[in-house]
Amino acid sequence: MEKYLSIHLTTPDSRNLISAEGIIAISMNSTSTVKIWYKDGKTITIELSAAMASNDDSIPYYLFNQIAKLQEGTISNSEMASTTNVLEIPTPLPNDKIWDATGNYITLTAITIA
């Protein structure tokens, strides 16, 4: 069964579904974007509400860990959407260690698929 991330943008009502299958890498593309690479060559760029510190990889680590939990079936009910194949990624991000360079919460503002 295909698994998806439901990524909330800026507000909980604004969501985008992206596949959690075939991901080969997740990393900071710049201090204000995260890039996801797929086996088939597709990429997704997620824009952040503010710049992270230049050496901060907490968002890629958070997304990677959430995808791993989804694949392993170890996601809690509160993190799942109404079906067991969709994982909710809220905004602002829930991890208390994900802050921008000035100490504010980070929200995800846009997704570009290429």
pLDDT tens digits, 26-46:
999 999 999 999 999 999 999
Q: What is the three-class DSSP state of 7?
A: strand
Give the pLDDT band of residue 78 (cuts 50, 70, 90).
low
Give the pLDDT band of residue 99 (cuts 50, 70, 90).
confident
Q: What is the three-class DSSP state of 104?
A: coil
| E runs forming strands in 1-114 | 4-8, 15-19, 23-30, 33-38, 43-48, 86-89, 108-113
What are the structure tokens assigned to 13, written together?
């009502």
Task: Provide the pLDDT for residue 35.
Answer: 95
Q: Spell out the long-range contacts of 52-55 with Cβ–Cβ below 8 A and sequence spacing 24 or more.
A: 52/28, 52/100, 52/101, 52/106, 53/101
More confident: 6 or 46: 46
Highest mean pLDDT among 43-47, 65-69, 79-83, 104-108: 43-47
Task: Provide the pLDDT for residue 67.
Answer: 86
Is pLDDT of 79 > 70? no
Residue of 66, 51, 30, 40 whose CA lies nearest to 102: 51
